[in-house]
C-alpha cells in the first residue's frame, strides 16, 4: 500500500492540511472547512455514480434532508448536537432508500429526473412552510460546533479524512468490486450470483448516510440552516461538477475536485461576478480535454491503478 | 442417475409472439449438448430462461432435481449454474485475478477484506484455464482469446453443476477455436453438464455429444451432430430446400469491368475477430451471392464496404479506395445497402420512405423511378399511405429494397432479405430480383443464409464461414463441392 | 371574470412554454441531447434584444432580430464546441457520454448566465413590446403584447410544422429523429442534419426568449428555472414527442396559472412538480410518449 499512487498523493496532502492552521488566517481556514464538507458530499456522490452506476442529479436532496432534520431537532427541541447528527444521518438514509426504490425500476434519464424532482419538491416544501423552516432566510441554530476557526477546521478535516477513508476503503473492498460490477452490467453481476438490488440499495444508503451527516455537520458549523446552502440545485450542481472534474470512480478525485472548486471560486473572487464564469469555463475545458478528471489523469499514467 | 439439467415443457411468450414452445431436453454430468438454431429460433431465450434472465410462462427447469424455473438469476447462479455471455465486458481497473476473485465472492454486504482462501482458489482457476502467466495484468492489455478464457474462468469458479456457453467461438480466429474447444471439452471430463448455444452445427460438431436443433421456437430434432446435419428438415430450414440453379441470361461483357474489389479485409469488434483476410470482387452487371450462416460475417463485410465500421485491408470502388469516406458519401457514390435490419422510418408512410430515398434525384427523375418501383412491387403502391411500422415483414422488406432502388444504385447490397419471411413472400421477392436482373444493368451483392434463395440468381458464389471465405465458384458446382459441408 | 383572466393569461403563457419546449424536444429527438443551457440561451436572446432596442437605440424590431441572431450564435457554439466533441470523443465510454453532455451544457449555461449578469447586471429587463396598447377580450383588458406572444408562438410552431412535414429537408429531420442510420444509408450526411437542427433550435429559442422578455421580463437569474420548466414539460409530454410537448406545455401553463391566481403565486410550481413525480412513477414515458 505504501507504494500505491493514491497513498503517495493523499498522505502528504493530509499532512499539509493538518499543519495549515499554524500559518494561515481564519478566513482561509473557513473556506477550507466549507470545502472539506463539500468534499464529503462529492465523495458520497462518486460512490453512487462511479460504483453503482446511478446518476443522482439531486444530491442536495439527501444533504438537505440530513441538514434540516438536524436543524429542526436542534432549534425546536434543543437536542444536543451529536443526537441531531445521528438523527440527520438516519433521516438521510431513509431518504436514500426512498430514492432507491424507483432507481431499481427506472432506467436512463428517468431516474435522473426523479432525483431532480426530489430536490425541487424539497426546496418548495421548505419555502412553503417557511414559518417552521425559516424558508429562504434560514433557521438559526442555538448550538454550533465551535466558535474557533481552527477547531472548526480540524472537525471538518477529521470528518473528511475519516469519511474519505471509509468510502475509499469500501470502493477498494470486495463489496466495492461487487458494486462496480453491478453498476456496469446488472445481468452479468446477477449471473455471478449477486443480488444486485440489495447491493445498489446498500450503495444508496451509504451515500445518503455520508451526505446527510456532512450536511448536518455543515449547518452546525455555519450556525444556520438555509435552503441556499444545503438544498439549492446549485449545491447539487457543484457536487456533480466536483466529482466529474476530480475523476469518476476514484473517490479521492471527488474530494480534490471539491477543494478545487471552492478554492478556485475564492481565488477568483477579486474578479467579482466573473469568478463563477471563470470557474465554469475552466471546468468545461477540463471536461472536454481531460474527461478522466484530475485524479483520473494522474492515476492513469501510473498504469496499475 | 438424475440428469444435472432437465428442461421440460419450456414455453416463453413475448406479447403475442411465442419465442419458445414446449422445449425439453436433459443433460447428464459429463455431457455436452449443443443447442443450435438460426436467428429468431429461440435458442437464446431458452438459455435466458434457464438462467433466470427471463421467466418462462410454463415448464420446468430442474437443476439436479430442484425446479429453479422463475427463480431470480442470482439464486439460480448460486444453486449451480455458470454462464458465459457472448458480449461480456470486463472491468477496466481490475486485474484478471481480481475478476476471478469477484466470481468467488459470497453475496455478502459486509465483506470488507479478501479472504486468502479465495485468492488462492482464484489463482488455481486462472492456471486451470491457461491464464496463469497473465493473471496480474489488466484486461485491456490482453488479446481477445484470453478475455474469453477469463469469462470461462468466472463461469466455472464456483464449480457449478451446469455451464452455459453462448456462441463459444464467436470472435475467435480459426487457430484459437481449437484451444478453446479443448478447454470446454475438459469441463466435460470434470463432470459438469455443458450447454453450448450456437448458430452453427459444424462449428461445435466435434465437441458435442448431442445436438438439439431449433427453429421458430420449436424443436426440430435431437440427435448426434452428423445425424442433425443430414436431417431433411434441418437442411430445409437452414438452406431453404433443394439446391437448384436457374438459367442465367448471358450478357455481353458482364463481369469484365471490375466495380468492387475487396482485398485482405479484416474487422475487429473491440478485440473480437469478425472478419479475417477476406477478399471478394464484383464485376459490372454481375450478381454475386455470399452465403454463410448467421454470425459468419456477411453483415460485417457489408458494413465495412458501406463505411459503417473501421477495417484493415482495402476496399476499392471503380478503381478508387473508399477509405476515409463517410457512409453517406459512399452511398451517394453508388453503393447502396439494404441492411438486414432494414432501417425503415417506422412512423413515416411507404410513400415518405420512398421519397427520402429519392432525395438526391430531381423531382422528375424521382417520379419516374417511383412509377417503375410501384410496377415492380404493386403492393407498395396500393398501401403507399400506410405507416411503415404497420406493414407485414414481407412488405417491409419490399419497401426497404424499393427505397434502396430509388437511389439508382450502381451496386445494390442486400443483406439477408429473406430473414423471417414466409415462403410465399420469398417467391415474390425472387421474382422481383429476377425482373431486376433481366431488365436492368444493376450489379447485386447478396448475403444470405438461405442457399435456395441465393443460388438461382447468382453468377458467382462465395461461401463465408467463421470470418473467412472458404469457397468461391460457380453456383452449379456449389451443390457438389460446398453444399454438403455447409451446415 | 377571473375564469376568463385565467383562460387568457394561461393561454399566453402556455403558448410561450410550448414554443420553448418544442425547441428543447427537437434537439432531444434529433440530436439526442438534453440541452441544459436552454434557459440561458433564451435569456441571452431577451437581454440582447433589450439592449439593442433600448440602450443601443435601434428600436424594437431590430432588437428582436439581434436577439434571435445572438441565440443562433449560442446554439451553434453549444453544438460545435461542446456537444459534438463530447459525442465524438474516444476517451469517454458510450454509457457516460450523456452525463458529460449534460454537465458540459450545464457549465456553458452557467457561463452564459454569469456573462449576462456581469455585462448587464441581473436586474430584470423588459424588452420593449413590438406592439403597445391593450385590447378588450370578452371584457378582460389584455395587452396587445400578450396576444402577440400567443400569436407569434403559434406562428413559429406552425412554420416548424410546415417545414418538417411539407419540405424535403424537413422530412429528413424527422427521419433523423426516427432512424439516423437509415438516413446515412440513403446518402445523407448526418453532420449537416445536426447543424440544421441546432440552427432551427437557435431561432426557436431566440423567438421564445424575446417574447418572454417582452411579456414578463427576464433576468439572468431566470436561466435555471427556464431550463427546468422546459425539461419538466418535455418529460411530462414524452421525451422526443413534439405533440406531447405541446400538450404538456398547456397542462403546465394552465396548472401554474390557476395555482398562481387561485392559491398563491409563490407556489405555482408545486402542483406541476407533484404531477411530474406521479408521471415519472406511473408512466415514465410521458403522457404521449411511446416506450
User: What pLDDT, on a 0 to 100 scale, did the predictor assign at position A3?
Assistant: 59
Residues in chain C with CB shorter than 8 Å from the CB of A287 are 86, 100, 103-104, 107
When CB atoms are compared, the residue of C100, C224, C277 closest to A233 is: C224
User: What pLDDT, on a 0 to 100 scale, did the predictor assign at position B251?
Assistant: 56
When CB atoms are compared, the residue of A173, A193, A199 closest to B113 is: A173
Is residue B193 located within the same domain as residue B270?
no
Would you say residue B380 lies in a domain?
yes
User: What pLDDT, on a 0 to 100 scale, did the predictor assign at position B282?
Assistant: 93
Range of the domain at B112: 5-239
Residues in chain B with CB shorter than 8 Å from the CB of C185 are 306, 327, 331, 336-339, 343, 404
Q: CATH number for the A5-17+25-300 domain, one of 2.30.29, 1.10.3470, 1.10.1740, 3.40.50? A: 1.10.3470
Interface size, chain A vs chain B, as Cβ–Cβ contacts under 8 Å: 79
Summarised one tens digit per residue, pLDDT across range A50-104 is 787 777 888 999 999 999 999 999 888 888 889 999 999 999 999 998 888 877 7
Instruction: Report the CATH number at residue B198.
Output: 3.40.50.300
Whether A300 contacts chain B with CB within 8 A: no
Would you say residue B250 lies in a domain?
no
Q: Is the pLDDT of residue A161 over 80?
A: yes
Summarised one tens digit per residue, pLDDT across range B127-153 is 999 999 999 999 989 999 999 999 999
Kindly identify which residue of chain B lies nearest to residue A183, measuring between CA atoms: B91
Q: Tell me the average pLDDT of chain B.
A: 88
Is residue B227 located within the same domain as residue B279?
no
Q: Which of B89, B91, B327 to mutate to test the interface with C (most CBs of C within 10 A)?
A: B327
Whether B87 contacts chain A with CB within 8 A: no
Read off the pTM.
Answer: 0.85
Q: Which of B330, B342, B359, B389 to mutate to test the interface with C (most CBs of C within 10 A)?
A: B359
Would you say residue B246 lies in a domain?
no
When CB atoms are compared, the residue of A174, A194, A196 closest to B114 is: A174
Summarised one tens digit per residue, pLDDT across range C16-63 is 999 999 999 889 888 888 898 999 999 999 999 999 888 877 788 888
CB contact under 8 A, B360 and C172: no
pLDDT band for position C289 (cuts 50, 70, 90): low
Q: Is the pLDDT of residue A305 over 50?
A: no
Is residue B220 located within the same domain as residue B277?
no
User: What pLDDT, on a 0 to 100 scale, did the predictor assign at position A131?
Assistant: 82
When CB atoms are compared, the residue of A190, A196, A202 closest to B109 is: A202
**Lowest-confidence range among A290-304, B3-17, C92-106, C217-231?**
A290-304
CB contact under 8 A, C171 and B356: yes
CB contact under 8 A, B77 and A169: no
Of all residues in chain C, what percent carry a pLDDT higher than 90? 38
Is residue B60 located within the same domain as residue B191?
yes
Residues 54-73, chain C, touching A (beta carbon < 8 A): none
When CB atoms are compared, the residue of B328, B339, B352 closest to C171 is: B352
Q: How far is CA B411 from CA B180, B255, B318, B324, B380, in A?
A: 39, 13, 11, 19, 23
Domain ranges of chain A: 5-17+25-300
Counting as contact any 3 or more CB pairs under 8 A, the partners of A are B, C
Would you say residue B251 lies in a domain?
no
Is residue B313 located within the same domain as residue B212?
no
Rounded mean pLDDT, B157-183: 90
Would you say residue B245 lies in a domain?
no
Summarised one tens digit per residue, pLDDT across range B346-397 is 889 999 999 999 888 888 989 999 999 998 888 889 888 889 988 888 889 9
Q: Which domains does chain C have, with CATH numbers?
A: 2-282 (1.10.3470)
Is residue B190 located within the same domain as residue B309?
no
Would you say residue B193 lies in a domain?
yes
Residues in chain B with CB shorter than 8 Å from the CB of A196 are 74
Residues in chain B with CB shorter than 8 Å from the CB of C179 are 343-346
Would you say residue B420 lies in a domain?
yes
Residues in chain C with CB shorter than 8 Å from the CB of A127 are 266
Interface size, chain A vs chain C, as Cβ–Cβ contacts under 8 Å: 92
Q: Tell me the average pLDDT of chain C.
A: 87
User: What pLDDT, on a 0 to 100 scale, did the predictor assign at position B263?
Assistant: 93
Is residue B191 located within the same domain as residue B298?
no
Is residue B462 located within the same domain as residue B373?
yes
Is residue B169 located within the same domain as residue B196?
yes
CB contact under 8 A, B359 and C179: no
CB contact under 8 A, A175 and B102: no
**Lowest-confidence range among A145-154, A167-176, B457-466, C81-90?**
A145-154
Is residue B313 located within the same domain as residue B220?
no
Of all residues in chain B, what percent carry a pLDDT higher than 90? 54
pLDDT band for position B241 (cuts 50, 70, 90): low
Tally of domains in chain B: 2
Amino acid at each position: 500500500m505504501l507504494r500505491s499512487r493514491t497513498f503517495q498523493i493523499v498522505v502528504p496532502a493530509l499532512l499539509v492540511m493538518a499543519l495549515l492552521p499554524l500559518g494561515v488566517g481564519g478566513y482561509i481556514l473557513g473556506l477550507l472547512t466549507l470545502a472539506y464538507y463539500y468534499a464529503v458530499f462529492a465523495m458520497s456522490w462518486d460512490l453512487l455514480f462511479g460504483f453503482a452506476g446511478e446518476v443522482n442529479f439531486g444530491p442536495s436532496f439527501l444533504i438537505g434532508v440530513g441538514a434540516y432534520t438536524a436543524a429542526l431537532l436542534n432549534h425546536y427541541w434543543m437536542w444536543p448536537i451529536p443526537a441531531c447528527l445521528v438523527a440527520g444521518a438516519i433521516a438521510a438514509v431513509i431518504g436514500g432508500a426512498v430514492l432507491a426504490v424507483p432507481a431499481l425500476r427506472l432506467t436512463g434519464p428517468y431516474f435522473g429526473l426523479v432525483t431532480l424532482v426530489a430536490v425541487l419538491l424539497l426546496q418548495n416544501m421548505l419555502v412553503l412552510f417557511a414559518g417552521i423552516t425559516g424558508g429562504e432566510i434560514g433557521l438559526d441554530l442555538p448550538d454550533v460546533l465551535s466558535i474557533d476557526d481552527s477547531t472548526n477546521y480540524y472537525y471538518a478535516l477529521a470528518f473528511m479524512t475519516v469519511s474519505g477513508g471509509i468510502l475509499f476503503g469500501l470502493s477498494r473492498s470486495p463489496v466495492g468490486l461487487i458494486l462496480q460490477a453491478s453498476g456496469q452490467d446488472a445481468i452479468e453481476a446477477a449471473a455471478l450470483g449477486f443480488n444486485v438490488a440489495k447491493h445498489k440499495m446498500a450503495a444508496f444508503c451509504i451515500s445518503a448516510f455520508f451526505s446527510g451527516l456532512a450536511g448536518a455537520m455543515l449547518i452546525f458549523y455555519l450556525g444556520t440552516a438555509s435552503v441556499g446552502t444545503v438544498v439549492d440545485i446549485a449545491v447539487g450542481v457543484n457536487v456533480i461538477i466536483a466529482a466529474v472534474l476530480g475523476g469518476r470512480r476514484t473517490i479521492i478525485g471527488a474530494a480534490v475536485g471539491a477543494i478545487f472548486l471552492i478554492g478556485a471560486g475564492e481565488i477568483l473572487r477579486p474578479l467579482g461576478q466573473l469568478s463563477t464564469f471563470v470557474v465554469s469555463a475552466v471546468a468545461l475545458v477540463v471536461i472536454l480535454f481531460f474527461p478522466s478528471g484530475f485524479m483520473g489523469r494522474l492515476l492513469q499514467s501510473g498504469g496499475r491503478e | 442417475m438424475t440428469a444435472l439439467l432437465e428442461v421440460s415443457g419450456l414455453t416463453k411468450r413475448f406479447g403475442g409472439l411465442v419465442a419458445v414452445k414446449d422445449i425439453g431436453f436433459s443433460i447428464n454430468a459429463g455431457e455436452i449438448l449443443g443447442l443450435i438454431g438460426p436467428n429468431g429460433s429461440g435458442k437464446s431465450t431458452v438459455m435466458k430462461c434457464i438462467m433466470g434472465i427471463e421467466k418462462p410462462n410454463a415448464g420446468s427447469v430442474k437443476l439436479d432435481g430442484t425446479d429453479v424455473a422463475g427463480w431470480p438469476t442470482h439464486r439460480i447462479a448460486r444453486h449451480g449454474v455458470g454462464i458465459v455471455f457472448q458480449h461480456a465486458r470486463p472491468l477496466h481497473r481490475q486485474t484478471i485475478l481480481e475478476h476471478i476473485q469477484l466470481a468467488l465472492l459470497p453475496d455478502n454486504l459486509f465483506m470488507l477484506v479478501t479472504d486468502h482462501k479465495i485468492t488462492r482458489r482464484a489463482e488455481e482457476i486462472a492456471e486451470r484455464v491457461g491464464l496463469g502467466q497473465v493473471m496480474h495484468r489488466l484486461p485491456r492489455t490482453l488479446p481477445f482469446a484470453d478475455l474469453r478464457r477469463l469469462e470461462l474462468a468466472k463461469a466455472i469458479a464456483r464449480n457449478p453443476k451446469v455451464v452455459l456457453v453462448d456462441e463459444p467461438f464467436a470472435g475467435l480466429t480459426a487457430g484459437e477455436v481449437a484451444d478453446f474447444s479443448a478447454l470446454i471439452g475438459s469441463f466435460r471430463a470434470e463432470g459438469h453438464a455443458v450447454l453450448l448455444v450456437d448458430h452453427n452445427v459444424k462449428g461445435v460438431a466435434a465437441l458435442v455429444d448431442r445436438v438439439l436443433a431449433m427453429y421458430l421456437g420449436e424443436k426440430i430434432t435431437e440427435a448426434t451432430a452428423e445425424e442433425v446435419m443430414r436431417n431433411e428438415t434441418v437442411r430445409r430450414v437452414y438452406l431453404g430446400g433443394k439446391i437448384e440453379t436457374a438459367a442465367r441470361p448471358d450478357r455481353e461483357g458482364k463481369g469484365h469491368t471490375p466495380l468492387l474489389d475487396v482485398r485482405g479485409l479484416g474487422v475487429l469488434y473491440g478485440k473480437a475477430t469478425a472478419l479475417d483476410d477476406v477478399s471478394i470482387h464484383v464485376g459490372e452487371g454481375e450478381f454475386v451471392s455470399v452465403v454463410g450462416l448467421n454470425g459468419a460475417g456477411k453483415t460485417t463485410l457489408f458494413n465495412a464496404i458501406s463505411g459503417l465500421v473501421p477495417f484493415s485491408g482495402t476496399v476499392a470502388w471503380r478503381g478508387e479506395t473508399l477509405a476515409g469516406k463517410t457512409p453517406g458519401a459512399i452511398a451517394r457514390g453508388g453503393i447502396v445497402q439494404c441492411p438486414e435490419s432494414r432501417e425503415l422510418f417506422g412512423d413515416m408512410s411507404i410513400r415518405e420512405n420512398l421519397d427520402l430515398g429519392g432525395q438526391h434525384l430531381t423531382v422528375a427523375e424521382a417520379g419516374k423511378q417511383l412509377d417503375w418501383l410501384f410496377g415492380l412491387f404493386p403492393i407498395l403502391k396500393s398501401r403507399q399511405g400506410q405507416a411503415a411500422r404497420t406493414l407485414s415483414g414481407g412488405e417491409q422488406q419490399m419497401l426497404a429494397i424499393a427505397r434502396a432502388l430509388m437511389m439508382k444504385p450502381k451496386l445494390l447490397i442486400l443483406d439477408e432479405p429473406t430473414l423471417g419471411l414466409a415462403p410465399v413472400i420469398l417467391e415474390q421477392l425472387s421474382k422481383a430480383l429476377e425482373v431486376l436482373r433481366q431488365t436492368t444493368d444493376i450489379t447485386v451483392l447478396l448475403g444470405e443464409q438461405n442457399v435456395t434463395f441465393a443460388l438461382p440468381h447468382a453468377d458467382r458464389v462465395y461461401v463465408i464461414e467463421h470470418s473467412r471465405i472458404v469457397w468461391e465458384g460457380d453456383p452449379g458446382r456449389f451443390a457438389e463441392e460446398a453444399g454438403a459441408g455447409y451446415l | 371574470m377571473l375564469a376568463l383572466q385565467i383562460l387568457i393569461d394561461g393561454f399566453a403563457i402556455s403558448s410561450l412554454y410550448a414554443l420553448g419546449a418544442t425547441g428543447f424536444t427537437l434537439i432531444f429527438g434529433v440530436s439526442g441531447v438534453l440541452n441544459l443551457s436552454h434557459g440561458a440561451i433564451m435569456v441571452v436572446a431577451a437581454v440582447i434584444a433589450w439592449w439593442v432596442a433600448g440602450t443601443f437605440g435601434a428600436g424594437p424590431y431590430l432588437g428582436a432580430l439581434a436577439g434571435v441572431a445572438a441565440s443562433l450564435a449560442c446554439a451553434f457554439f453549444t453544438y460545435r464546441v461542446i456537444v459534438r466533441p463530447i459525442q465524438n470523443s474516444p476517451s469517454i465510454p458510450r454509457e457516460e457520454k450523456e452525463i458529460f453532455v449534460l454537465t458540459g451544457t450545464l457549465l456553458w449555461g452557467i457561463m452564459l448566465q454569469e456573462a449576462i449578469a456581469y455585462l448587464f447586471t441581473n436586474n430584470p429587463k423588459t424588452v420593449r413590446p413590438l406592439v403597445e396598447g391593450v385590447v378588450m377580450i370578452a371584457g378582460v383588458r389584455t395587452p396587445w403584447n400578450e396576444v402577440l406572444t400567443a400569436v407569434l408562438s403559434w406562428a413559429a410552431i406552425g412554420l416548424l410544422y410546415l417545414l418538417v412535414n411539407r419540405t424535403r429537408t424537413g422530412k429528413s429531420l424527422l427521419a433523423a429523429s426516427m432512424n439516423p442510420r437509415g438516413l446515412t444509408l440513403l446518402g445523407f450526411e448526418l453532420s449537416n442534419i445536426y447543424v440544421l437542427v441546432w440552427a432551427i433550435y437557435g431561432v426557436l429559442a431566440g423567438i421564445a426568449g424575446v417574447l418572454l422578455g417582452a411579456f414578463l421580463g427576464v433576468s439572468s437569474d431566470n436561466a435555471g428555472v427556464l431550463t427546468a420548466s422546459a425539461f419538466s414539460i418535455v418529460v411530462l409530454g414524452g421525451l422526443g414527442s413534439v405533440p406531447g410537448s405541446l400538450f404538456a406545455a398547456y397542462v403546465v401553463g394552465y396548472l401554474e396559472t390557476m395555482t398562481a391566481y387561485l392559491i398563491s403565486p409563490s407556489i405555482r410550481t408545486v402542483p406541476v412538480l407533484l404531477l411530474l413525480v406521479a408521471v415519472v412513477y406511473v408512466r415514465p414515458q410521458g403522457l404521449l410518449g411511446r416506450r
